[in-house]
Structure 1
Amino acid sequence: MANSHAKKRSMLFDEPVGRKRIVSLTPLIDVVFLLLIFFMLASTFMKTQTLTVITPAPDESEEVDTDRVVIELGIHTDGHLTIDGKTVIVSDLEDKLKARIKESPEAIVSILAEKDSEVQPLIWAVDAARRAGADTVSTSRVGSVK
């Protein structure tokens, strides 16, 4: 009798042969979405800095005051920069502009970007000119920089 009772009990806990258990992924997906929502709400978003650039139409270009020194900063299509025709690397750009502006505090920084040049070097150039202390920064798109 004890043997038959043990046999029945073991049959109750054994899985039926041929049937596989299917694991439901629904609770896992619910937890993942809850974590996603939590981290989205708990995170802080950086406020990006913007740079306002107003580009005039070709027929609205202004004459440059010729009494002031003009520092020409060239942006070439291959990404390299020049100050008055001399190649300069991006990391030295601000220091070179500071030195030139120290010589002529009223200088105008004229940024000449070649037609097919990237936008990022233009942003670096305008930012470096502002940090170097330039009062007037002008931008132009040209066919080629000398």
Structure 2
Amino acid sequence: MFEEPVRRRGMASLTPLIDVVFLLLIFFMLTTSFMQTQSLSVVTPAPSADELPTDARVVEIWLMGDGTLRLDGKPVERTALTASLREAIGERKDMTVTILAEKGSRTQALVAAVEAARQSGAKAVGTARVEKIRP
């Protein structure tokens, strides 16, 4: 007798969802920052200084166990390392900076030496750990 009315399921509108997605997309596009990273090739040879080639194109930084630094055997202050390296490298683009870290030298000194090499214009940096550096 009585027919029940047919219930139609309403379709949910996707418009508000799409609006929210676009707003989130715009928000993330505006707030994202892209960093440009600088790279420096670091060559890590065998842990013996005897295996390192002696070449006119190599500048050596010695990290002594007592915390002092030497550039090609001459004592240098950490604050003057970048300027001394820049002077040693000069205009030559084929120079390699080799950092010899004596046993007991500090990691911060190694980081400072790599940073000084990068700032001085060196294109390649090599590192080696040695037991004792012979002056």
Q: TM-score, normalised by structure 1?
A: 0.55
SS of equivalent to 1:82? strand
Distance 1:77 1:133, change over 3 A: same
Q: SS at 2:70's partner residue?
A: strand
Q: Secondary structure at the match of 2:81?
A: helix
Cα pair 2:97 2:125 within 8 Å, conserved: yes
Residue pair 2:61, 2:99 contacting (<8 A) in 1 also? yes
* Aligned residue among 58, 65, 89 for 2:77: 89
Unaligned runs of 5+ in 2: 1-36
In structure 2, what is the equivalent of residue 124 of structure 1?
112
Question: Alpha carbons of 1:92 and 1:144: their partners in 2 closer, same or farther (altered >3 Å)?
Answer: same
Relative to structure 1, the CA distance from residue 103 to residue 121 in structure 2 (aligned partners, 3 Å threshold; closer, same or farther) is same
Q: Secondary structure at the match of 1:104?
A: coil
Give the counterpart of 2:67 among 73, 76, 79.
Answer: 79
Q: Which structure would you say has the larger Rg?
A: 1
Pick closer, same or farther for the CA change 1:120–1:55 going to 2, 3 Å: same
Match of 1:111 in 2: 99
Name the structure, 1 or 2, with higher relative contact order (CA <8 Å, separation 6+). Answer: 2
Specify whether residues 54 and 70 from structure 1 end up closer, same or farther in structure 2 by C-alpha distance, changes over 3 A only: closer
TM normalised by structure 2 equals 0.59
Query: Equivalents in 1 of 2:127, 2:97: separation in Å?
Result: 9
Residue deviations 1:64-100 (CA, integer Å, cap 9, x gap):
584x511110000111000010000011000000011
Match of 2:66, as an amino acid? D
Unmatched segments (≥5 aa) in structure 1:
1-48
Larger helix proportion of the pair = 1
Count of aligned residue pairs for this structure pair: 94
Structure 1 residues 78 and 134, CA gap change in structure 2 (3 angstroms): same
Deviations 1:96-126 (A, max 9, x none): 0001111533111100000111101000000
Q: 1:99 aligns with which of 83, 87, 98?
A: 87
The verdict on how the C-alpha distance between 1:63 and 1:57 changes in structure 2, with shifts beyond 3 A counting, is: closer
Compute the displacement of 1:55 (Å). 4.7
CA RMSD, Structure 1 to Structure 2 (Å) = 2.8
